[in-house]
Amino acid sequence: MDLLIVIPLIALVYVTATIVVQRKVSNIERMRELQQGMKDRMKELNSMIKSNADKAAIDAKNKELSAIASENMKHTMKASFIILPISLIVFYYLLPLGFGHSTFSLDILSFKLNYQTYFVVVAVIAGLAASVLLGAYDKRRLAKKAAANSEASMPA
């Protein structure tokens, strides 16, 4: 089969697998909450700094921001500890095992890509596209959930 097709298929399977791992290991809703909390605290901190607030208050707000950032990083790192070994195995063992003898070369914008570089380019592009699509999906899903919760909490 033509490597122009096989390598992107492998890259798509790889991206799908990493997304599944990330979704299973990480609590996406909690990560969104943390990101929003960081954004809110950052706005508060910036306004405190602009208004020349008390140093102790600024330090306290900074401490809150650091705690939220630390928890967010823990959620991010959990998935990375699983995905990184998978990436290394695919890139350094499986691809060379299947295509190591190949003289595959693809010229794109005056760059010569071998099969490994082609895999990385396709995987990065597919990963970015999936990230944007899933981000929009999550945002819409969480907005619907928040709207449903607010409707449920309203008195009849």
Contacts for 42 with CB less than 8 Å, ≥ 6 apart: 65
pLDDT at 135 over 90: no
CB neighbours of residue 18 within 10 Å = 21
Q: How far apart are CA 134 and CA 140, in angstroms?
A: 10
Q: pLDDT higher for 61 or 152?
A: 61
Kindly state whether residue 154 falls inside one of the protein's structural domains. no
Kindly state whether residue 138 falls inside one of the protein's structural domains. yes
Kindly state whether residue 139 falls inside one of the protein's structural domains. yes
Which one of 10-14, 112-116, 137-141 scores highest in mean pLDDT?
10-14
Over the stretch 77-88, which tens digit does the pLDDT of each residue have?
A: 888 888 999 899
Kindly state whether residue 126 falls inside one of the protein's structural domains. yes
Residue 67 domain boundaries: 3-145
| pLDDT for position 17 | 93
CA-closest candidate to residue 22, choices 65, 68, 86: 86
Rounded to 5 degrees, φ, ψ at 114 are -85, 180
Kindly state whether residue 38 falls inside one of the protein's structural domains. yes
Chain-centre distance for alpha carbon 117: 21
Pairing label, strands 106-108, 111-113: antiparallel
Contacts for 34 with CB less than 8 Å, ≥ 6 apart: 68, 71, 72, 75
Kindly state whether residue 156 falls inside one of the protein's structural domains. no
Over the stretch 83-124, which tens digit does the pLDDT of each residue have?
A: 999 899 988 888 888 887 777 788 888 888 888 889 999 999
Kindly state whether residue 153 falls inside one of the protein's structural domains. no
CB neighbours of residue 154 within 10 Å = 7
pLDDT (average), residues 135-147? 84
Which 3 state secondary structure label does DSSP give 111? strand
pLDDT at 138 over 60: yes
| pLDDT for position 95 | 87
How many domains, in total, are found in the chain? 1
Kindly state whether residue 36 falls inside one of the protein's structural domains. yes
Which one of 9-13, 70-74, 149-153 scores highest in mean pLDDT?
9-13
Chain-centre distance for alpha carbon 69: 15
